[in-house]
Structure 1
Amino acid sequence: MNTEYVIAFLASTAGAATPLVLASSGELVAERSGVLNLGLEGIMLVGAVAGFSATLRTGSLTIGLLAALAAGVAMSLIFGFLVLTLQTNQVATGLALTLFGTGLSAFLGRDLVGQTVAPIARLSFPVLSDIPFLGPLLFRFDSIVYLSLILVAAIGYLLARTRLGLQIRAVGEAPHSAHAIGMSVVKLRYACVLFGGAMAGVGGAYMSLALTPMWVEGMVAGRGWIALAQVVFATWKPRGLVVGAYLFGGVTVLQFHGQGMGIDVPSQFLAMLPYLATIVILVIICRDPKTILLNKPMSLGQNFKAD
């Protein structure tokens, strides 16, 4: 195994992990406020088709990403209105949102199949990008890869070190107590849900604008569910999201390399490896309930209504 192969593998892993980092980061913020959004898969699909369509029509990747962000906010606003204002069941509403997003994205993208756009350009840093091994490994990614890692660090700082982060955690742990001391529980949860939707939309757009710069129906392929699982894998801690996302990204890339090297294993088995690895890891983690309960928001999935 030569150096070029290792660099290519690790660089591909970063690309495959980025949409998961984005989607799971937004979902973590929503869940820390006490809201469980199972509609990530649908939101990512709508974000993917919105970002691709806007980029195709305008030629601007920036507009495409903004369109995906707006689409994610719009989808999460539907979810927020139903669960936070109308007090519907969070689990059932999230599942319905995934079904809605899957159908809506297929409808909106019916005329986009087969078309392509220029992928997001990779950055090049003077001197740094030319360092042997480390240059192509650390300093030749597109801007979204770097922004996703900065986002995780910012969320970690916000939740642990700021007043707003304390309020989010308080609303997630004890919403009635937070309401009693004057916090606007519903407004804060709305903001967290909309942020989660925005990040899921951008995560979906990264797939259609960077990983495979084209629109394919159902292209998210379960990554919305994986992002949800990663929040549990990380035990609701931001730094754990990066580990989970890059682990999944590595296994995803590994199956492609395995097929390329002609490994005598059915392609269907290789394709299921990333999801199988996620299930195994979750089973291992959930064997110790204390690990899960340590950071799980106490009101997660529970609706709040002011008395």
Structure 2
Amino acid sequence: MDISKYRIVPGKDVDLTELAEKEGHDYTEEIKEKLVPKSVEQLREWQLKLHAEEKKGILVVLQAIDAAGKDEIITFIFSHLMPQGLEVNPVKKPTEEELKHDFLWRIHKGMPERGQIAILNRSYYEDLIAPIVYGEDQTIPMPSNEQNDDPWEIRCRQINDFEKYMKESGFPVVKFFLNVSSEKQKERLLERMKNPDKNWEFSFSDVEDREKWGEFQKAYERILNHTSTEHAPWYVLPADDAWYTRYAAAEIMIHVLKELNPELPVMTDEEKEKLDEEIEKLEKE
């Protein structure tokens, strides 16, 4: 897979309406039955090395409108990894306590440890989306300044600086935006609403947000253009074909891990000698 076509080139403005919502292919069953399992196995092998080495970690950001497939990426891709090396945290509307702090305070508890992949299901980018879609009163207050700079752009800079800090600290940030079409979202929402077994997935806020489709698209487009950087680029995945989306996410994660190139620890001669002694001791019991 050529993952570069999903990467938003830093500094190049994109038009979200021109980005793919689906890929033209006819091998969904092959993706589901062969390619995804193979990618998950490779991802698990690399994650094991990352966890055993304990030198670096990865922060994964999942952003999308409702029913785009964020939860399914976690279920079908990340949930197959070793649990000890995985952390999943949803980011919801800020609480009263969180509103008393800086806007990044609330996500620090979801940051990865060394040797760990941490996933934010939605993220601090909600605090860039909300001012555009709902207005400031429904999000953490925007930063104030004395130079008449755009508070929204100030927050973009703060996020870019934070993600650069994360990478320089050994925690690269991998950002996925799931680009689903209005038609496919409608289909998935109706399935949740009509199927009793899927009613639990439905929230009335989903249809309320759908009425603001244009505002959400505007917000996502601005975010892609302001926060896709060399140190933390956005990957925009076509999300109408659920299995292809999962496959693409897995392949990108494998690429990131290969670049980190974690290795399993190797015992020293002294440790090997001690190990042999313990093996002999245990076998004599």
Task: Tell me whether the two structures share a fold, i.e. TM-score over 0.5.
Answer: no
Greater strand content: 2
